[in-house]
């Protein structure tokens, strides 16, 4: 009986620790274990599988431009789109989420 109780507690804890809740002002960026970007996931509740890694992105958060296509967030690169010219190394702020890219604008220094 005690073994059964311990097993049930372990499974409940494991399942609860794998649930990820994404708020309305957030987005999940999904990556392979080699840090290659796969896709964005919209707000909702997800059960995290071990074959992917996820990074939450919040509106207003900042990142660093790597090149014309990618921006660095927490040591991972995601695709972005911008209306103005931005050079590599600049800090940008996330203003909108698209299906395949995040929209960014120049970050105001000192904020």
Report yes or no on whether pTM surpasses 0.75.
Answer: no
Q: Which two tokens stand for residue 67?
A: 């090149």
∠ CA(74), CA(75), CA(79), 5° rounding? 85
Mean pLDDT, range 80-96, rounded to an integer:
88
Q: In Å, how far from its chain's centre is CA 68?
A: 20
At 4-44, the pLDDT tens digits run 999 999 999 988 888 999 999 999 988 888 888 888 888 99
Which DSSP string do the residues of 46-70 spell out, in sequence order? EEPPTT-EEEEEETT-EEEE-SSSE
Is the distance from CB of 64 to CB of 72 less than 8 angstroms?
A: yes
Q: How far apart are CA 66 and CA 88, in angstroms?
A: 5
Where do the structural domains in the chain lie, given as residue ranges? 2-106
């Amino acid at each position: 009986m005690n073994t059964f109780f311990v097993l049930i507690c372990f499974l409940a804890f494991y399942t609860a620790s794998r649930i990820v809740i994404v708020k309305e002002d957030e987005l999940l960026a999904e990556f392979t274990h080699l840090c290659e970007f796969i896709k964005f996931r919209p707000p909702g509740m997800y059960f995290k599988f071990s074959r992917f890694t996820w990074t939450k992105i919040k509106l207003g958060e900042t990142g660093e431009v790597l090149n014309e296509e990618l921006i660095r967030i927490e040591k991972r690169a995601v695709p972005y789109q911008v209306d103005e010219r931005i050079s590599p190394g600049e800090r940008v702020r996330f203003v909108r989420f698209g299906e395949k890219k995040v929209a960014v604008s120049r970050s105001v220094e000192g904020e």
